Amino acid sequence: MDILNNYFSSLVFKYIEEKSGFAVYVAAIHTMLGGDKTQYIIAFVPSHLKTKNSGKLHTLQWVNLQARLLSGNAYKVITQSWKAPTLSVTNLDLHIVERKKEHSVYRADNFPFEVLMIHSQTKKTTFQYPNNMNLHWAIDQFQTIFNYVCPEPQKNFLIGTQKSQYPSNVFESNENIEFINS
């Protein structure tokens, strides 16, 4: 989790609502895209672990993190200035695991997340993303879901592939959340 906590360390997340057993925290990023779209980073914390109304990502016990491009009024939060860090962490290589109609699933060595890249519904193919990509590029698409699947490995300890115990939250519209599992 440290990689993503550090990547978004300058953002302050605001508690918005409870949805399907999760406390939803949101940070909006100032963008030059124009139009009515806003870049959001959305953190899902199991409801029983909600402890504050706002905070930095590392202070939230999140299990699912999303980088999404949604309509500008999807959440009523103030946009923040943010620049992607130039840390070596952005060179983390993600590899395709599975392609589905709605999304493609990626994993990386020593990274405790499955990464879901949401497909555009206007494109009628499952090959919307490359077989390999780095972490920064995946986040920059703002159609990205990080689903926590296992604890970070200890030194000299191997962890097999595990499925997440939490659903991957996917917004099908600005009003609804549907859960899908990879």
The pLDDT-based confidence of 158 (bands split at 50, 70, 90) is very low
Tally of structural domains, the chain? 1
Report the relative pairing of strands 54-56 and 64-71 from DSSP bridges: unpaired
Structural domain that includes position 56: 1-182
Predicted confidence (pLDDT) per residue in 94-103, tens digit: 999 999 989 9
Distance between CA atoms of 66 and 109, rounded to whole angstroms?
A: 20
Entry pTM = 0.81
- DSSP 8-state symbol, 7: H
Tell me the C-alpha distance between 170 and 103, whole Å.
Answer: 10
Residue 77 has phi, psi (to 5 degrees) of -130, 155
CA dist., res. 8 & res. 29, Å (int):
11
Q: For 64-84, write each residue's pLDDT tens digit.
A: 999 998 887 788 898 898 888
Record the tokens describing residue 141, joined without a space. 């698409």
Instruction: Give the model's confidence band at 125: pLDDT under 50 very low, under 70 low, under 90 confident, else very high.
Output: confident
